[in-house]
Amino acid sequence: MSLLPRAIVIGSDHAGFALKEELRAFLASRFADIPVEDVGCYSPDRVDYPTYGQLVASKVSKDATELVPSTLGIVVCGSGIGISIAANKVEGVRCALAHDHYSGKMSRMHNNANVLALGGRITGVDVAKEIVEAFVTTPFEGGRHADRVALIHGIEKQQESTC
């Protein structure tokens, strides 16, 4: 069984557009066997980040309970903060904002993050590529970390039952 995802979904707002385009090209060259779906935006014209955070997260959430997600997501806005908040509103999504290789790796290894958020205005292209490489290639460690991810899922379920 491959530990690499079967698909990657990527999206951004206008502030993350340039970095998203760089990452889309990087993914196509580095992971040619993994299809990448770009859900937008498709130009640097102003758009709202919650739309694209939700689009990516909705596609990833379909298999969010799997220990080895078949689909990973990448979202980019100016800082990475707003789009990560939006993505995390979708049930089953564990979106991690990463600023370096280590945080990209640990988000997968310990948190089984299934969406990566990056800041297009604060993360350089080469650093972003290193983060994406770590995020895509690092497997979830499981064990005690699986128990913690289950606790996170339990919080979601509690919220659903109180609504």
55/25 Cα distance (integer angstroms)? 20
Look up the domain containing 83 and give its range. Answer: 7-162
Domain for residue 121, yes or no?
yes
Catalytic annotation present for 153 = no
The tokens for 149 are 């991810």
β-pairing, 7-12 with 71-77?
A: parallel
**Higher pLDDT among residues 79 and 2, named by residue:** 79
Provide mean pLDDT across the span 23-42.
98
Provide mean pLDDT across the span 63-70.
68
Domain for residue 19, yes or no?
yes
Domain for residue 2, yes or no?
no
Place 2 in a pLDDT band, splitting at 50, 70 and 90. Answer: low
Place 129 in a pLDDT band, splitting at 50, 70 and 90. Answer: very high
pLDDT for the residue numbered 64: 62
pLDDT for the residue numbered 74: 98
Mean pLDDT, the chain, whole residue set: 93
Domain for residue 50, yes or no?
yes
Query: Among 106, 99, 74, 108, which residue's Cα sits nearest to residue 3?
Result: 108
136/99 Cα distance (integer angstroms)? 15
Provide mean pLDDT across the span 111-116.
96
Q: Is the pLDDT of residue 4 over 70?
A: yes
Place 67 in a pLDDT band, splitting at 50, 70 and 90. Answer: low
Domain for residue 108, yes or no?
yes
pLDDT for the residue numbered 1: 44
Would you give the DSSP letter of residue 89?
T
Residue 114: CATH number of its domain: 3.40.1400.10
149/21 Cα distance (integer angstroms)? 31
Domain for residue 150, yes or no?
yes
Domain for residue 1, yes or no?
no
Place 153 in a pLDDT band, splitting at 50, 70 and 90. Answer: confident
Q: Is the pLDDT of residue 20 over 60?
A: yes
Active-site residue, selected from the candidate residues 110, 145, 153, 163: 110
50/90 Cα distance (integer angstroms)? 11
Active-site residue, selected from the candidate residues 14, 77, 95, 145: 77
Catalytic annotation present for 163 = no
Q: Is the pLDDT of residue 23 over 90?
A: yes
pLDDT for the residue numbered 162: 76
pLDDT for the residue numbered 161: 75
Domain for residue 80, yes or no?
yes
CA distances from 42 to 12, 45, 56, 96, 126 (A): 9, 8, 14, 23, 22
Q: How many independent structural domains does the chain possess?
A: 1
Question: How wide is the angle at C-alpha 92 spanned by C-alphas 150 and 16, nearest 5°?
Answer: 130
Provide mean pLDDT across the span 68-83.
94
Helix, strand, coil fractions of the chain, as percent rounded to 5: 50, 15, 35
